[in-house]
Structure 1
Amino acid sequence: MLNSGPPESVCHSLTVDVEDWYHVCGAEILPDYRRQTRVVAATRSLLELLRGQGSRATFFMLGEVADAFPDLAPAIVADGHELASHGWSHRLVTGLTPAEFRSELERTAAVLKQQTGCTPLGFRAPRWSLDRRKTPWAFEILKELGYRYDSSLTPLAAIGDPNGPRVPHLIMTSQGSICEFPPLVAQSLLGNLPVGGGWGFRSFPYGMIERALTSYQLAGVPGVLFVHPRELDPDSPRLPLSLIKRFLAYGPRTGSGERLKKLLANHTFKPLVELLDRVPLYPDTSL
């Protein structure tokens, strides 16, 4: 067990990937989808929930969403939340060249800076698509552009490295270190389970999520939750995906808002940027 501070002093972090209902990696975005946008209403509903709980979060915002709805990013900042970057187009980083990745980062940062005066210090790749082996150049570019942390590496077999660190840690680049915040997972005989967000957050029993978050807290480590606005919007449209992809992207959503509200009430959450100073205390190890 790690000993980086008393359990009561540990703050967790809720993160939000600000994207619309049709932003599913690999799916074609048709013009008609954009006319059915739900992201503003869904994000404002989430802001209202956080306001009611007195919680602040980190919002990883797509550049094209900020550009299309210029009042949304200022509303997020006005409520005291952190704005971070989710890239511009929701394309996988593994499908971008280094030049394209840099362009997406710069374009998104410029829009957020123009709209709010805030420069993003954190980044999350669509569908956890950074990889230490396949995209080592991405961390170099992030550091070069002034980013202080990333939250794109997940310790899961299907979309990440099941043997990767489950705790916040430092990644070294040629220009210095950048902090990495993996999402919350629960250990099991089947390996790490994605209880911190996505289909796992919506599907696993609430008690499993609570126990995972508490285990991190007892170890003195912050747990990172993640949600999408569409997951708290049960009436939004759905893409014509295969049954499995449809389940992973959209459903079930029943109770997502209520279980999030319970977690916010039971634990202390702060934006990721406010946890940076503690990251060197978390060694690159398992709980």
Structure 2
Amino acid sequence: MILLSFDIEEFDMPFEYGKTISFDDQLSISTQGTLSILRILKDAGVKATFYTTANYAMHRPEVVMQIINEGHELASHGFYHSEFKPEHLAQSKQKLEEIGGVTVKGYRMARMMPVDEREIEKAGYVYNSSINPTWLPGRYNNFSKPRTWFYHHNVLQLPSSVSPLIRFPLFWLSFHNLPMGILKMLSASTHRKDGYLNLYFHPWEFTDLDQPERFGFPGYVVRNTGNAFIQRLTDFIAWGKRKGYEFSRTDQYVEKIFKTGKS
């Protein structure tokens, strides 16, 4: 099983690199990327999960409705991407459900930062996918966390996928920088060990980020963005289908765990 997920948010990442970007541009870049993602998924005939901020959804409700109407899952990525308060957990869920007319079951914290699981349960979420169970300098120190799904405070935790043993993260940066052959090898070994892959990306990766004056991103962020990344994900999905892997929305996979107690 391969769970593809996309964090749909206002594109505020340039602020981390000392650049400014208007809110309209943040929305435009995220929307352009989201529409590219939807085309990829439609052409491949697979469904995915879109963790969306309420702030983005309020400004682009037509994109949210396209996500839903094309059969994908709408989940919460918080209310704002660069601001968090515990009350945003319930507020973002309520707003997304109001806009989309669907039940929101999943949550992912912005930038995969820690979040109080008791607050997640209180807000009414069924599952949380906010853990990258590896170590990255200045970002994550999660070697003590399980690699695969587990329960905590009555909420199913679904960490992003990392390879067995060395816990090499199979996240968006890996898809930009590793040769596809190595990435597929790591993905296959992880799928063989865990029975599934939980992968996450962002819409702005599917636009051209190689604009130093505008964004200020380092080479490992901009490598293989835009059309190159569209081709990379298209190729990866085709490879997964040839391997016989199923693709699923996260909520449907979580429901399977509830029913069977296993991957």
What band does the TM-score fall into relative to the shorter chain?
Answer: 0.7 to 0.9
Aligned residues with identical type, % of pairs:
21
Give the CA deviation at 1:25. Answer: 7.5
CA RMSD of aligned residues (A): 2.5
Aligned length: 249
Would you say 1:117 and 2:101 are equivalent positions? yes
Structure 2 residue corresponding to 1:258, chosen from 224, 231, 239: 231
Query: In 1, distance between residues paired with 2:80 and 2:19?
Result: 11
Q: Choose which of 105, 110, 130 in structure 2 pairs with 1:126.
A: 110
Q: Is the 8 A contact 1:198 1:249 kept in 2?
A: no
Q: 1:101 aligns with which of 67, 77, 86?
A: 86
The aligned residue for residue 8 of structure 1 is: none
Deviation at 1:250, TM superposition (A): 4.0
Cα distance in 1 between the residues matched to 2:73 and 2:57: 14
The equivalent of 2:257 in structure 1 is 278
Please state if 1:39 is matched with 2:30: yes
The alignment's TM-score, normalised by the length of structure 2, stands at 0.84
Which residue matches 1:209? 183
Deviations 1:49-83 (A, max 9, x none): 10000010000001111011111111100000000
Q: Which letter maps to 2:22? A: Y
Structure 2 SS opposite 1:261: helix
Compare 72-81 and 113-122 and name the one that shifted more: 113-122
Structure 1 stretches of at least 4 aligned residues deviating more than 3 Å after TM superposition:
23-30, 235-243, 246-252
> Which runs of 5 or more structure 1 residues have no equivalent in the other structure?
1-10, 283-287
Amino acid of the structure 2 residue aligned with 1:227: F
Deviation at 1:221, TM superposition (A): 1.9
Indicate how the Cα distance of structure 1 residues 59 and 239 shifts in structure 2: closer, same or farther if over 3 A, else same.
farther
Q: Secondary structure of the residue that 1:35 maps to in structure 2?
A: helix
Equivalent of 1:19, from 9, 29, 33? 9
Equivalent residue number for residue 52 of structure 2: 61
Deviation at residue 209 of structure 1 after TM alignment: 2.0
Aligned: 1:192 with 2:164: no
The 1:233/1:247 distance shift into structure 2, 3 A limit, reads same
Instruction: Name the SS for the 1:71 alignment partner.
Output: helix
CA contact (8 A) 2:162 2:190 kept: no
Superimposed CA distance per residue, residues 169-199 of structure 1 (whole angstroms, 9 cap, x where no aligned partner):
222x2xxx211111122357xx3222x2221
Counterpart-to-counterpart distance in 2, 1:241 and 1:48:
26
CA contact (8 A) 1:66 1:112 kept: yes
Offset, 1:144: 1.6
Higher mean alpha-carbon deviation, 177-186 vs 57-66, is at 177-186
Q: Secondary structure at the match of 1:262?
A: helix
Q: Give the aligned partner of residue 224 of structure 1.
A: 198
| 1:105-162 C-alpha deviation (Å, 9 max, x unpaired) | 22222221122111211111111101xxxx5xx2111112221111111112121312
Q: What corresponds to 2:126 in structure 1?
A: 148
